[in-house]
Each structure stands twice: as C-alpha cells, then as structure tokens.
Amino acid sequence: MPVSLVILAAGLGSRMNSDLPKVLHTLAGAPLLAHAMRAGAALGPERVVVVTGHGADQVASTARSENPDVLIAHQAGQLGTAHAVAQARTALDGFSGDVVVLYGDTPFVCVETLEAMREARARHAVVVLGFEAADPGRYGRLMMSGEQLERIVEFNDASAEERLITLCNSGVVCADSTTLFDLIDNVGNDNAKGEYYLTDIVALARKRGLSAGVVTCPESETLGINTRTELAAAEGAFQARARVEALETGVTLTAPETVFFALDTVIGRDAVIEPNVVFGPGVTIESGARIRAFCHLEGCHVSRGAVVGPYARLRPGAELAEDTRVGNFVEIKNAILDEGAKVNHLSYIGDAHVGERANVGAGTITCNYDGVMKHHTEIGARAFIGSDTMLVAPVRVGADAMTGSGSVITADVPDGALALARARQDNKSGLALRLMERLRAIKARKG
C-alpha cells in the first residue's frame, strides 16, 4: 500500500528563546526538520506534506532544500495537533493509502520503527507509536485493553491513577488517509487546553468499532526538542551513536569522544580519523584515507590513500583524488587535486585544479577573488609551485612548469617553463647598520 507523510512543523518553540523557528535549529549540522524528513523518506512516500506555521517561509524553504517535491500546508492558528494535520487534507487530495504523521522537532525516530508501524496497519485501523518512559512526566498516557489501545489521555486531563501509567504517547500516528481525516473531522476541543488533539482519534476509532494498536520503541527515539538544553542533549546522543556506528563499520577513531559527525557523514572502512576532527555537512571519506588531528571538513570528498592535516580545512567543493596530501594550515575550497598532488604547508587553494603529482610550495595562494567575481587557476600535472607564489587568477601554470619562490604570477606559464616574477635584489652596502644607528638615536632622544 502506498504511504504519504505529514510532518508537523508549525510550532513557535517559545522555550528555545530564539527568533529562529524551532524545527530549524540544527542537530549534527542539519535542521531538526531534515532529520524527520530523512527518516520518513526511507519509507518511499508518494507525497510528503510539511505543515508550517511560525516562520512559515523559512521552514518551507528548508523543506524544499531537503526535498524539492515537498508539499507545503499552512496552519494559520495554533489550535492543536489534529487541526495541524487537517491542514494537509488538500495536499493529500486524491491520495489513497496510509499516512504517517511525524514531528519536525523529533529527530530520532528510526526507519525500522516506522516500518513496524506500517506492518501493524495490516491489523489495526490506527497505529500509535508508544514507549515505556523512565519518568512519564507530562507525556500523554496510552490506555490499553489487552492488545487494543482504547484511548490516549493527555497529562492535563489524566486522573491520578492514569498518571501512574508508564506507557506513553510519542505523537507519531499511522492510519489510512480516508479514516484519518474522517476521524479528525469529529475531534472536539473540550479539554484543559481547548485544543484539537490528534490523540482523540483513537477513542473515536474505538467507538466506531475500529481497531487501534501500539508499536513501541526505545524512549530515546521519541526525544522531542523543546529547549536548548534538550537540543544539546540530543547532539550528545547523536554524536555518541555516530561514533559507535563508525567504529563498528571499521573506521579507526583514535579519540572517539573528540570527533564530531554531521547527519550525512560517510566514512569508509579502514579510514583513520585522528583527534579533534569536525565533519560538517556533505563529507565523504573513502576507505584508507587519513584525517589527521584538528581538521575541519565540509562539502568535500577525500579519496583512498589521501592524507589531510593536521590543522587543515576542506571547504565545499574540495575534491581530493587518491594519494593526495593536504598538510598543516592549508585551506582548500572548490578545488580539485588530482592523484598524488601535494599542498603541504600554509597555503590557500581556491577555485582551482591541481594536476597529478603537482607540488604546491608553502605559502602559495590562488588569488581567486577580485572583489566581485571568482576566477579559476589551473596548475598542470607535475608542476612545481615555489614557496610564497601568488597565482593571480585567471591563470594557468602548464604541465612540468615551475614558478620561482616569491613570484607573483599574472600571466600563463607554458608547459615546462620556469616563471620568475619578482623584483631584482639590490644590496645597499652598510645601509642596515647606518639605518639602525639612526633609529636608535631617535628612540634615545624621545626617551
């Protein structure tokens, strides 16, 4: 049976104390909303609907960057979760299949859990995701009768006896589209908050003789983010899990607690990650590569046998081929290094292509920006760039060519040529001594 997603992302998130919509706060380098969308995407949904509210334009833009085909529904007033889901009705018009309701501030629900809910739908009209809470607190309670879920009681409406129940509601629901919206049409707001609760569809379904069931998951999957403290705890939980997964898949982490991953970090087996490495979004490290200590990487690809760092920075568009070397205090941005190329010390390579086995000396800079536009630098195979060379783009240094140390290269260098672009040295005999004596005398008079 086909499935669609409705992701609720309309909340203000006042306890975050932020101008940014809650679902756009980042976890592992990605907005909370992206985590929920990616978990649901693993189900292969026919349609994905994100319900916006506070900061609607920002939220919609983020949703579209994650999935260009996403459908946007808007909840003008915050009248409860049932009201929020109801806003997706138009976007799902003509859809026949199951709908899974997720939350943009709940990032850890696993695809295996969602698949279990889909399977349970073969036995129940409505399926709810529940968990056993160590401290039930203010969660809604799941009222069971054998294997049947009879109703969900919100904390504010629960009796003292009902509050003793530890089986709690995550808010995630799966139901047939027609059934879901039919039940929502009958939800009222006669409760402590005066809101239209999605949870009320369970009791309504049971009154109609429809079956309702529960799939349970670890409490850690249901963690919702409402405060910055909870966001920090979620970051810690994500990183701990990501480190374990990396180690279990054959990655060497010499100091795991100091390495930080993004949501989409991919690292091949037998790669070595040294201490204090930070991966931003969009990084792929192939098997056998080594990332040395204190590196920061984002939006880049590092091939087998490459060595990066220590203290290197790879920015978006950096593409390192096999057996390349990027050393200490080197920054690479939007540049390709072909096989065996070396940039070992104190250099900036931006908007460039460095040919195979080329060697870029210490202090080299590709001067790629004129204040308005970026320009490209081409360094040919086996070229040797002398230390402290300024390559003023657009410029090409040919294959097997060389530049003299301290040169400012403003014109193309032919293949095999040596380019010298610096002023001729002129030694003034004795001038250094006379100059220092004069300066010391001036200082003495001032003293």
Three-state DSSP state, 107: coil
Question: What domains can be seen in the chain, in order of their start residue?
Answer: 3-222 (3.90.550.10), 228-419 (2.160.10.10)
Helices (H), 169-328: 177-184, 200-207, 228-248
Out of 345, 353, 375, 376, which one is annotated catalytic?
345
The pLDDT-based confidence of 132 (bands split at 50, 70, 90) is very high
- CA distance to 142, 144, 154, 175, 211, per residue, from 202 (Å): 10, 11, 12, 10, 9
- The answer to whether 385 touches 396, Cβ cutoff 8 Å, is no
Active site residue 375: no
* Overall pTM > 0.75: yes
pLDDT value, residue 447: 81
Mean residue pLDDT across the chain: 96
Give the torsion sign (CA, 97, 102, 104, 108): negative
Separation between Cα atoms, residue 72 and residue 48, nearest integer Å: 9
Residue type, 363: G
pLDDT digits (tens, 9 = 90+) for 387-407: 999 999 999 999 999 999 999
Alpha-carbon torsion 97, 102, 108, 109, what sign?
Answer: negative
User: What are 159-215's pLDDT values in tens digits?
Assistant: 999 999 999 999 999 999 999 999 999 999 988 788 999 999 999 999 999 999 999
